[in-house]
Amino acid sequence: MSAGITKEHLEQTLREKLSADHVEVTDTSGGCGQNYDVIIVSSIFEGKTLLQKHRLVNDAAKNEIAQLHAFSQKTYTPTQWVELSNKK
Stretch binding other proteins (CB under 8 A), from 8-16, 39-47, 54-62, 76-84:
54-62
Cα–Cα distances in Å, from 83 out to 22, 76, 78, 79, 86?
15, 10, 9, 6, 5
What is the dihedral angle through the alpha carbons of 81, 84, 85, 88, rounded to the nearest 10 degrees?
-160
Among 12, 43, 72, 85, binds other proteins (CB under 8 A): 72
Among 43, 58, 80, 85, binds other proteins (CB under 8 A): 58
Binding site for other proteins (CB under 8 A): 50-51, 54-55, 58, 62, 65-66, 70-74
